[in-house]
Structure 1
């Protein structure tokens, strides 16, 4: 039995779909907080059980009989995120899983300026210390997050954000395919992986140029002062904690933390990964 957590989320749901192309449905289980949202998977023959990273007792049932378990990092911030990840990993270990996989990030580091990377680094270290076979999938920066930066730009013609740096924007679909391969094929990826990234890097100035080309409208990159951007974001309704978290992304980007590409993803999926331009075309078409 292969068990995947977070299987109704943006990444987890795609991973399950790609995995079901490779293995029989009756060998796949999912651990989700709301089983009703996974009704479609149950209809396809997938084992659906409730599991919550904040409640270890639920994970014992959700992980029962699992040979491999993929822990999809939850949308939790701060120290609680590390605790939740450790709880899931401990439950996977207790369930007797032969391999535990975890969705990490290309820039996982204990000195990152982006708080999420601290969580990933601590989780990787904890996972490695258990002494069982594991895979930490160092996913490239999700290209879908570009929608957060360019939504207003498509309306105003100005892409306003703090100073940034190059990012190897990578599509969820490609990372989901890579994860499915890593789960289904023994030995495909072991330990902490190389960065699983698309082959190109764009900073927001380059993103503005691509949007200009796509839309036929001039989109101008405007660099905002960090604190002025934070104040404006909060004034527009963003919680202060979320503003600080997001500001960390820009600070890490301009330090070069996301300025890396690697051929591992392309080699693994056997095709050129989705381009940032394709993702931007999709976002612009829905705006």
Structure 2
């Protein structure tokens, strides 16, 4: 049985639905904090059990009979988040899982300028101490983030963002599908995977050009000072920690933390991953 944590979240839920393309429902289970939110999955025949990373006893029950467990990384940052992910991985091992999977990020490394990448590296270090096979899924930067960043640009005719660098924006639905293939049938990769990304890395100059082509409205790319952009985000209601996290993305892009591309995701999908143009078209259609 394959168990997926965080299955009421966007990536976890999508991964479960993709797994059901490869496996019968009786071979798929989920660990969620609130089982009431997973009744749609229960209705499909998926095993639904309550599990909380902060409660090892609950995870022992949620992970029972698991052959493989996917620990979907949560939103808690810093040492607390690392401790929660490591606890979930240990619980999977203790429950008898033959392999533990973890959703990391393409730029994962201990000396990254991006805080969440450092957290993922610390979790990978904990996985390496499990004494059981593990795979860290180095997922590319979620392309749906573009929807937040281009909001209002067409109406203004201007894309106002901090200085950036190339990013291999990758559709979350493609990552869910690729992750499901690895979970269900392999190849079984020990340790970190190659970056699971789309085929091209683009800058916001490229994004502005695509926006112009898709909408028929000229959108000019303008670089905004970091502090000015941060203050504007906070003034418009974005919580400061979230705004700073987004600003950190620009810092990472400048340092070329997100420009890696690799063919593995396309090989897993059996097709080309979705493009930035497709992500922008989807964002505009919402």
Cα displacement string for residues 79-134 of structure 1 (whole angstroms, at most 9, x for unaligned residues): 22111111111111111110000111100011212211011111111112222111
Tell me the residue number matched to 2:199: 199
Q: Please give the secondary structure, in 1, of the residue aligned with 2:69.
A: strand
Q: 1:283 to 1:98 in 2, by over 3 A?
A: same
CA RMSD across the alignment: 1.2
Tell me the residue number matched to 1:236: 236
Q: Please give the secondary structure, in 2, of the residue aligned with 1:201.
A: coil
Per-residue deviation, 1:54: 2.2
Q: TM-score, normalised by structure 2?
A: 0.97
Whether contact under 8 Å (1:65, 1:95) holds in the other structure is yes
Whether contact under 8 Å (1:181, 1:188) holds in the other structure is no
- Mapped to 2, the partners of 1:219 and 1:77 lie a distance apart of 35
- Mapped to 1, the partners of 2:146 and 2:174 lie a distance apart of 16
Q: 1:281 to 1:186 in 2, by over 3 A?
A: closer
Worse overlay, 232-241 or 202-211: 232-241
- Mapped to 1, the partners of 2:72 and 2:175 lie a distance apart of 12
Tell me the residue number matched to 2:279: 279
Q: 1:67 to 1:248 in 2, by over 3 A?
A: same
| Aligned residue runs from structure 1 range 89-100, under 5 A | 89-100=89-100
Q: Please give the secondary structure, in 2, of the residue aligned with 1:11.
A: helix
Work out the number of aligned pairs and report it: 286
- Mapped to 2, the partners of 1:106 and 1:186 lie a distance apart of 19
- Mapped to 2, the partners of 1:56 and 1:224 lie a distance apart of 46
- Mapped to 1, the partners of 2:253 and 2:97 lie a distance apart of 36
Whether contact under 8 Å (1:31, 1:48) holds in the other structure is yes
Q: Please give the secondary structure, in 2, of the residue aligned with 1:265.
A: helix
Structure 2: 5+ residue stretches without partners: none
- Mapped to 1, the partners of 2:116 and 2:152 lie a distance apart of 25
Per-residue deviation, 1:228: 1.3
Q: TM-score, normalised by structure 1?
A: 0.96
Per-residue deviation, 1:223: 0.8
- Mapped to 2, the partners of 1:34 and 1:212 lie a distance apart of 43
Worse overlay, 122-131 or 206-215: 122-131
Per-residue deviation, 1:188: 3.9
Cα displacement string for residues 49-100 of structure 1 (whole angstroms, at most 9, x for unaligned residues): 1111222222111111111100011122222211111111111111111000
Q: Please give the secondary structure, in 1, of the residue aligned with 2:144.
A: helix
Whether contact under 8 Å (1:71, 1:88) holds in the other structure is yes
Q: Say whether 1:24 aligns with 2:28.
A: no
Cα displacement string for residues 178-223 of structure 1 (whole angstroms, at most 9, x for unaligned residues): 1111111154433211001110111111101100100111111111
- Mapped to 2, the partners of 1:189 and 1:268 lie a distance apart of 13
Tell me the residue number matched to 2:34: 34
- Mapped to 2, the partners of 1:269 and 1:109 lie a distance apart of 26
